[in-house]
């Protein structure tokens, strides 16, 4: 079943269009990667999907309703966003941060009920963050903090997870850990995932579908094998590349040509 339908979406802050004519849709259980060079409109697209920005043209429909017109609480019960980094001031502990994920399910003037604590315990177990529970977030390492933010997103019990460069500051082991975690939720619980990333190879391995953005328009959209061709990458990123196949999965692997040799 279609979860989100993005129809002729366009946005601009000032004069030039940041994003224009973007059309695609995805369903429960899809894992979509959004690739494109700096300034191609990836993050803007993510914020439009989350309903944070109001489109100038077209609309993003969540279960049939324009997402930017929905109440923030309603959106937050369906869509969770994992940001690139945590920018909180004052030291909340990891458990307090994960508990905040229950917020869209609580009426104002109320405290968490036993059920909320159960959900939080469960997602912290699943994200392997229970031993971090009492520690302030600003004292955690990048990978630990990212796991806590994913736990917070899962505590929202969303149908769609939006990821903004989820592995940007992590080493390869932690990148893989985080993506395996997300992939397992994607498969087991039919959680839809849209991830914006700069990492072409990780996207190729984990996504079922790649949307390649170029200066605000969709350059190509399809399975990794079809989209991640040398021709596409060179055209969009403007740098020569070599492509090969991942030995285990057969997915495309992209490397710069590095003509300095």
Classify 110 as helix, strand or coil.
coil
The least distance separating another protein from the CB of residue 121, rounded to whole angstroms, comes to 11
Percentages of the chain per state (helix, strand, coil), in multiples of 5: 35, 25, 35
Taking CB under 8 A as the binding criterion, the range among 80-88, 170-178, 221-229, 251-259 that sits at the site for another protein is: 80-88
If binding is defined by CB under 8 A, does position 97 make contact with another protein?
Answer: yes
- Answer for which of 66, 86, 121, 229 binds another protein (CB under 8 A) is 86
- Answer for which of 2, 13, 65, 72 binds another protein (CB under 8 A) is 72
If binding is defined by CB under 8 A, does position 22 make contact with another protein?
Answer: no
- Residue ranges in 98-117 that form contacts with another protein under rule CB under 8 A: 100-101, 103-104, 106, 108-109, 111-112, 117
Angle (CA) 207-212-215 rounded to 5° is: 150
Q: How many CA atoms within 13 Å lie on the side-chain side of 152?
A: 28
- Answer for which of 28, 84, 93, 126 binds another protein (CB under 8 A) is 93
Please, are residues 31 and 186 in contact by the beta-carbon 8 Å criterion?
Answer: yes
Closest by CA position to 255, among listed 243, 238, 245: 243
How many Å apart are CA 194 and CA 81, to the nearest integer?
A: 10
Does the CA dihedral 184-190-191-193 come out positive or negative?
positive
In this complex, which beta carbon is closest to another protein, that of residue 52 or of residue 223? 52
If binding is defined by CB under 8 A, does position 133 make contact with another protein?
Answer: yes
If binding is defined by CB under 8 A, does position 146 make contact with another protein?
Answer: no
How many Å apart are CA 152 and CA 175, to the nearest integer?
A: 18
Q: Which residues are near another protein by CB under 8 A? A: 50, 52, 71-73, 75-77, 79-81, 83, 86-93, 95-97, 100-101, 103-104, 106, 108-109, 111-112, 117, 131-135, 138, 156
């Amino acid at each position: 079943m279609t979860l989100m339908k993005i129809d002729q979406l366009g946005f601009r802050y000032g004069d030039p269009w940041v994003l224009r004519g973007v059309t695609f849709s995805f369903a429960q259980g899809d894992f979509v990667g959004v690739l494109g060079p700096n300034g191609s409109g990836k993050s803007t697209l993510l914020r439009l999907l989350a309903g944070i920005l109001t489109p100038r043209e077209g609309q993003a429909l969540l279960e049939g309703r324009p997402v930017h017109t929905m109440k923030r609480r309603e959106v937050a019960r369906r869509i969770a966003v994992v940001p690139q980094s945590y920018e909180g001031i004052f030291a909340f502990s990891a458990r307090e941060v994960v508990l905040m994920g229950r917020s869209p399910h609580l009426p104002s003037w109320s405290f968490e009920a036993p059920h909320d604590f159960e959900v939080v315990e469960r997602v912290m177990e699943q994200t392997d963050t229970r031993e971090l529970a009492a520690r302030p977030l600003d004292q955690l390492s990048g990978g630990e903090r990212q796991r806590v933010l994913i736990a917070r997103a899962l505590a929202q019990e969303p149908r769609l997870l939006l990821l903004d460069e989820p592995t940007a500051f992590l080493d390869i082991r932690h990148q893989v850990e985080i993506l395996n975690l997300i992939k397992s939720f994607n498969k087991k619980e039919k959680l839809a995932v849209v991830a914006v990333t700069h990492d072409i190879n990780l996207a190729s391995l984990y996504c079922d579908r790649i949307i390649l953005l170029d200066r605000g328009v969709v350059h190509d959209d399809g399975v990794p094998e079809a989209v991640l061709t040398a021709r596409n990458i060179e055209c969009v990123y403007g740098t020569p590349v070599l492509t090969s196949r991942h030995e285990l999965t057969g997915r495309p692997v992209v490397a710069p040509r590095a003509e300095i040799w």
